[in-house]
Structure 1
Amino acid sequence: MKLLRRILLGTLVIAMVVGLFAGLGMAAKQPKTFKLGVLLPLTGTFAAVAKTQEEGALLAVDEVNEKGGLNMPWGKVMVEAIVMDDEANINVGVRRFRYLKEQGAHAVVGQTWAPVALAINELCKKDPFPYFPVNVAPVDSFKKGSLADCTFAAGYTPWTVGYMAGYAAINVLGKKKIFFLGRSDAWGWNIKSGLEAACEKYGGTIIGSDEVAVGTSDFTTILEKVKAANPEVFISAQFGGDAIALLKQSYDMGLYDKMVIFNAFITNVVAKGLSPEARKGLYAMHFFYYDLSDFEDQEVAKMAAEYTKRYEEKYGTPPDAYATIAYIATKQLFEAVEKAGSFDPKDIQKAIMENPDFVCVKGPATWRIDHEPIYKYAGFLVKGKGADEQAGEWDLFEVVTALGGEEVYPPLDYLGY
């Protein structure tokens, strides 16, 4: 009898232990919080842009939490954001990415500077992890085999920026004689490649070109060269502070009176850094412009207005381009997690590739096999407003038209597919 009791007691203890571990296993698979790492260069050269990216990501977090959290098979799951600074430094970025994972992060969005994003992507290839970079990455990073299985980039490449600039200059503005000022890195070279592709297709001619390093502040000699070439349109790849310096000097040297000035990719921050005189008449491609009230697709205009209202209520200014890239990336991550019903990277990747179509604040889009979203409206051609045209502080541009679709992206065969 005693032996039987001992056997029964032992069996009960074993069952309790097994049940305990099973319960712990179920709890691990059904967490009550989704931890999101937001890793950006919040100090240093890219800090101003990174701040807007942080704001976009956190707005997406707020929106899902206001609805009670992510809809998962085991119930609602709130999102906790862990924000860290990568300092635009590869070593720091890699170290802090690893730290986020150690702290239990289930996914990471971030990066403004491409080299940090590429380094983190390499880690994700070795150890699968949901990673959604929010920069404009070089073309080579999208070549077959380059991106990790669960790395999805909400921006596009500089090739697309250059192609759209060329298309717009030739087909919308009717300007075929082009002088191009690039940048001596992948950003500038990719923009030039896209521009050349558009010129080849639509009959544009690059009658002169040059390139400068990032951080160049004096463009006098080059602008004299541009003047002498007498193009119909001057397209420049400069971004951020470099673009502000170039455009100011272009205006001061009288180039605005002699040709169309076209900055390939612009943000509201750059436009605010220009005098109204240097902004007036300036053309550029914009990833997203908040005021689409006169845009022909009024459904998209309505979504953009609602998003802008939420952003302004939280931050006091309208959303800029890179804030919107981060917002879209974070929203798409959350949608994929909900569709997967799982936090597992393989399940998230499968959910995206089996359901590639989505709608965002700038219209319809589809994830392509290279993990790049094909936006119906990839970029908005904008024209700068002068002081006499502005209705308010942030009334910076008029939206002329939008470009997008498969045509403005690098061909898949070029990427090795």
Structure 2
Amino acid sequence: MTGRITRRSAGVALLGAAALAMLGSGAARAQDTVTLGAVLPLSGASATIGEDQRRGIELAVEKVNADGGVLGRKLAVAVEDSGGRAQSAIDAARKLVSVSKTPVVIGEYSSGNTIPVGQYLQREGIVHINPGSSSPAIKTIGDRSFSTIGLDDVAGKFTAQAVYGMGHRKAVFLAPNNAYGQGVYAETKAAFEALGGQIVANLLFTEGQSNYRRELQRIAAAKPDVIIYSGYGQEAATINREAFELGLSKTPWFGIYLSMCTADSRPETVEGQMGMEVNYVGPDGAWYRDAYKKKFGKEFATTFSGYTYDAVMMAAAAINKAGSAEPARIREALAALGDYAGATGPIAFDAQGQRKTQPYIVVSYKGGELKTAAK
């Protein structure tokens, strides 16, 4: 599976222990490089997404260095694997801060991992950039935390409007019982019911189950017009396979972050599904799609690589603006960047460091790929 790579191989792609050794010893060589950190799920349920995030970082590092680096030095990003677990994510962040001395750490993907990582970095005085998580609780991390991706208070409203606009009035909601699932459920439910719809069953499941037949049987008993769901790649693959076997795929499915839900699923189990997605290529972002395809020989694996690309590029811009790699000065420069023309579209931070506007699109899964659909 494409997302399963080792921590060592991930590091080699961007920085690498072997590459560091070849640079020679010590402080003199370290002064030639400004190193940022990243915590990504390169193994576990979200490994496909984590690998796509890593690709975005790799493209950004190449771009920054081709344009002269930062502060007249090369830029590098040390990547650590969280395994998709909160404690491992925190341990990885600690290593980046205490050993690699990174002034900025990008990550993670799951809100349940990103929030404690961000809180740790806040306490340590390190800049945190969230490129993939969407729980509204992220905005409470602190003044050193920024997001290049929008939060679920907007995503839930978009989902509700899209589902209601398709004529669905009776829905069940299926998502992981964590900070992300709880947040997006609350926002979607409030918006859907305000429009006149009804959530007839809320099934927030425990992550890491071997099967989800109990939840799926409850969905069948509820007889909904539509199944609104979200799940991390490999868990969603199990859900989709079992739903297909039970005949539940005949009911319309609407995925929240559909590429996440379908990335590891067999095509026949998700054919015809619809869903919402972050608009992952900005109005002037065709160059990013072309660069990704040229570098990796394929289309985007998910919709999330552009957000790590933008995180690295904005961190580099802030370092150059600050004229320093000190965390406090980087934080000030990031907050003052103003409108930034990112691969994912214009990015500006609000007073809480969150992306002010996040464009979304409705997509459908047809013939083995995601295609833009009418709202």
Q: Residue 228 of structure 2 is aligned with which of 230, 235, 253?
A: 235
* TM-score with structure 2 setting the length: 0.81
Question: C-alpha displacement at 1:288, in angstroms?
Answer: 4.3
SS in structure 1 at match of 2:68: coil
RMSD: 2.8
Aligned to 2:305: 323
Question: Deviations along 1:181-239, whole A, 9 cap, x unmatched?
Answer: 23322222112101122114322221233232112343334334323333221111323
SS in structure 2 at match of 1:277: helix
Q: Residue 335 of structure 2 is aligned with which of 353, 358, 367?
A: 353
Q: Residue 311 of structure 1 is aligned with which of 272, 286, 292?
A: 292
Q: How does 1:190-339 map to 2 (within 5 A)?
A: 190-257=183-250, 259-267=251-259, 270-288=261-279, 300-303=282-285, 305-319=286-300, 320-339=302-321
Aligned residue type for 2:363 = V
Asked whether the equivalents of residues 364 and 376 of structure 1 are also in contact (C-alpha less than 8 Å), the reply is no
State how far apart, in whole Å, the 2-side matches of 1:174 and 1:251 are.
23
Question: Deviations along 1:303-360, whole A, 9 cap, x unmatched?
Answer: 1x31122112222222322322211211221222223333233332222333332222
SS in structure 1 at match of 2:308: helix
* TM-score with structure 1 setting the length: 0.74
Q: How does 1:174-189 map to 2 (within 5 A)?
A: 174-189=167-182
Aligned residue type for 2:333 = A
Identity of aligned residues (%): 23
State how far apart, in whole Å, the 2-side matches of 1:272 and 1:351 are.
36
State how far apart, in whole Å, the 2-side matches of 1:92 and 1:256 are.
35
SS in structure 1 at match of 2:227: strand
Aligned to 2:78: 82
Residue 141, structure 1, aligned to residue 138, structure 2: yes
Question: C-alpha displacement at 1:46, in angstroms?
Answer: 3.6
Aligned to 1:67: 67
Asked whether the equivalents of residues 150 and 357 of structure 2 are also in contact (C-alpha less than 8 Å), the reply is no
Residue 167, structure 1, aligned to residue 161, structure 2: yes
Larger radius of gyration: 1
Q: Residue 369 of structure 2 is aligned with which of 387, 392, 396?
A: 396
Aligned residue type for 2:311 = A
Aligned to 1:117: 114
Figure out how many residues of one structure are paired with residues of the other and give that number.
345
Aligned to 1:47: 47
Distance 1:191 1:118, change over 3 A: closer
Residue 33, structure 1, aligned to residue 33, structure 2: yes
Distance 1:384 1:92, change over 3 A: closer
State how far apart, in whole Å, the 2-side matches of 1:84 and 1:248 are.
31
| Residue ranges of structure 2 left out of the alignment (5+ in a row) | 1-26
Distance 1:122 1:279, change over 3 A: closer
Question: Deviations along 1:339-393, whole A, 9 cap, x unmatched?
Answer: 333323333222233333222222223211221113341x22101103xxxxxxx
Asked whether the equivalents of residues 310 and 344 of structure 2 are also in contact (C-alpha less than 8 Å), the reply is no
Residue 108, structure 1, aligned to residue 105, structure 2: yes
Aligned residue type for 1:307 = Y
Distance 1:61 1:160, change over 3 A: same
Question: C-alpha displacement at 1:142, in angstroms?
Answer: 1.6
Aligned to 1:6: none
| Residue ranges of structure 1 left out of the alignment (5+ in a row) | 1-26, 291-299, 387-394, 403-417
State how far apart, in whole Å, the 2-side matches of 1:152 and 1:356 are.
13
State how far apart, in whole Å, the 1-side matches of 2:247 and 2:87 are.
44
State how far apart, in whole Å, the 2-side matches of 1:220 and 1:94 are.
32
State how far apart, in whole Å, the 2-side matches of 1:337 and 1:49 are.
27
State how far apart, in whole Å, the 2-side matches of 1:100 and 1:275 are.
36
